[in-house]
Structure 1
Amino acid sequence: MRNDAESGRSASGDARTQGAVQSVDRALTILEILARAGEAGVGEVAAELGVHKSTASRLVAALAAHDLVEQPAERGRVRLGIGILRLAGATSARLDLVQEARPVCRLLASQTNETVNLAVLGDRSALYIDQVIGPSTITSYNWVGQHIPLHATSNGRVLVSELTPEERRVTWGELTAYTDSTVTDPDTLEEMVADVHTRGYAVARDELDVGLTAVAAPVRNAHGEICASVSVSGPSFRIDQARVEELLPLLLQAAGDVSARLGWHRA
């Protein structure tokens, strides 16, 4: 049985967790109030939240530290900040990318009968934002919303292929071996990424999962920067080197088509 001290620590921890959740809920409510009203005084915010004015002031200060709200004059009225636009812009850009890429990815999945994934660079990972399963694919893991290691995937290597070596060393994160085939040596990875930059595509075989092979190519925005990666993946027994050579023209065409839809024109 737990002693009184352990019970006390547990109760204290639960109280802190509940308090943190309550603070987050109140902060989000402030954003909703400002979205509805346009602007409001701290006293008005406090009244609507049902809290003391000092509590509302601390919450407003925390939001202001992240540019989510702004208070032009000291003790003045509060309104939404530019941080909201930054978050909305990132979400909008991602939704636009999915919308523009979806018909191309559907065609690619139909042409290859394999799974097609669309990924963007996340926080030291590849974030999978869309997936289309080929018509003859019986089962496929749903990667959408998953953060996947950069070093062990074709999408990841494409996404970091135009970063500087210094930026890559920070972005790789921990070079974990997921299978016996996972490349974890930094120098070898640099050589492989240089090869990706030269060839315009990446291949990863049995590195994240034994039996899984994927081929990826870059998607570029209107400025010519890599903004995403599109890949074709399937069982390694089916996607051997000869099959990779068959898939490449279709994959590169699809990546180019998505890039064109985003406004990129090859010089």
Structure 2
Amino acid sequence: MGQPGTVQSVDRAAQVLEIIARDGESSVGRIGRELEVHGSTASRLLASLAAHDLVERLEATGTVRLGVGVLRLAAATRSRLDLTAQAGPVCDALAEELGETVNVAVYRDGAAINVYQAQGTSTVAMHNWVGDRTVLHATSSGKMLLAHLEQDAIEDLLASPLERFTEHTITGATVLREQLQQARENGWAQVVEEYEDGLNAVAAPIRGPAGDVVAALSVAGPTYRLAPGSLPATARVLLRAADEISRRIGYRADVTG
């Protein structure tokens, strides 16, 4: 029986995966009996799961077991958990050193998703960005992630109308292309009151074992503390921290560079 508020078919599909995970493999009849559904219903559930490679049928026995799709999902989760686990101590130390808010963000479906945040001693009631989707063109993490996408993906974003958040938000494609090029050349990106009035930020890339940019490390603070003129010096500190996180998750410049 599903929990209140759940979708029955999804709830049953999840139960099927749990049964197979518990038993190693199972038959349509056994799954139907445990779920207390007709065999045809169990068969349709398994067919849907098989279409996404979440289960696979063993021809020799007629039973089913978990498929490679489960491994893909597990790998994606493990990658994110590994990133936050390794980045956490570095972010905490960086936030303490700079006294400002430090975030780690990853690219997902046209946005930057924050997966870790550490607050410095100078921050007061700073918004918790973990789990939030933020735009690419008006945030430092977003610009850094955008700068390392495939060129087609960059052009797709620049071809769409870009939302203006403050009078300083850059919405022109030509200027943004120049900023993305600078971010790639300098190794860091910045925003000056482009997403929120009075808030500045700078971001650096976090690289995975293959050398590709898998996340962005950023520090943000009010303009009276994190003034535009101080951003290059802050970026140098940030780059060292980003390099440390990259090293922790398997990047080796002497091997991949």
- Does residue 141 (structure 1) correspond to residue 159 (structure 2)? The answer is no
SS state at 1:40 partner: coil
Q: How many residues align?
A: 250
**CA–CA separation in structure 2 for the residues paired with 1:187 and 1:64:** 46
Between stretches 70-79 and 125-134, larger displacement belongs to 70-79
Map 1:204-223 → 2, pairs under 5 A: 204-223=191-210
2:50 is aligned to 64
> Which residue, 106, 112, 116 being the options, matches 1:130?
116
The amino acid of 2:224's aligned partner reads: F
Q: CA deviation at 1:105?
A: 0.9
Q: CA deviation at 1:193?
A: 0.7
Q: TM-score, normalised by structure 2?
A: 0.91
SS state at 2:115 partner: strand
Map 1:189-208 → 2, pairs under 5 A: 189-208=176-195
1:109 is aligned to 95
SS state at 1:39 partner: coil
Say if 1:165 and 1:190, in contact at 8 Å, map to a contact too. Answer: no
**CA–CA separation in structure 2 for the residues paired with 1:29 and 1:103:** 37
Map 1:28-177 → 2, pairs under 5 A: 28-73=14-59, 76-170=62-156, 175-177=162-164
Say if 1:219 and 1:256, in contact at 8 Å, map to a contact too. Answer: yes
Q: CA deviation at 1:75?
A: 9.0
- Does residue 265 (structure 1) correspond to residue 252 (structure 2)? The answer is yes
2:241 is aligned to 254
**CA–CA separation in structure 2 for the residues paired with 1:19 and 1:77:** 31
1:11 is aligned to none
Q: CA deviation at 1:171?
A: 5.7
Between stretches 193-202 and 176-185, larger displacement belongs to 176-185
The amino acid of 1:157's aligned partner reads: K
2:220 is aligned to 233
Q: CA deviation at 1:19?
A: 10
SS state at 2:7 partner: helix
Q: CA deviation at 1:117?
A: 0.2
Q: TM-score, normalised by structure 1?
A: 0.87
**CA–CA separation in structure 2 for the residues paired with 1:255 and 1:198:** 16
SS state at 2:31 partner: helix
SS state at 1:224 partner: coil
Cα deviation code 1:215-247 (max 9, x no counterpart)? 000011121111111000011232112221331
SS state at 1:234 partner: strand
Say if 2:192 and 2:228, in contact at 8 Å, map to a contact too. Answer: no
Q: Name structure 1 gaps, 5 residues minimum.
A: 1-17
SS state at 1:145 partner: coil
**CA–CA separation in structure 2 for the residues paired with 1:237 and 1:152:** 19
Say if 2:111 and 2:135, in contact at 8 Å, map to a contact too. Answer: yes
**CA–CA separation in structure 2 for the residues paired with 1:93 and 1:252:** 21
**CA–CA separation in structure 1 for the residues paired with 2:41 and 2:135:** 41
**CA–CA separation in structure 1 for the residues paired with 2:122 and 2:136:** 28
Q: CA deviation at 1:159?
A: 1.1
Q: CA deviation at 1:174?
A: 5.9
**CA–CA separation in structure 2 for the residues paired with 1:44 and 1:244:** 63
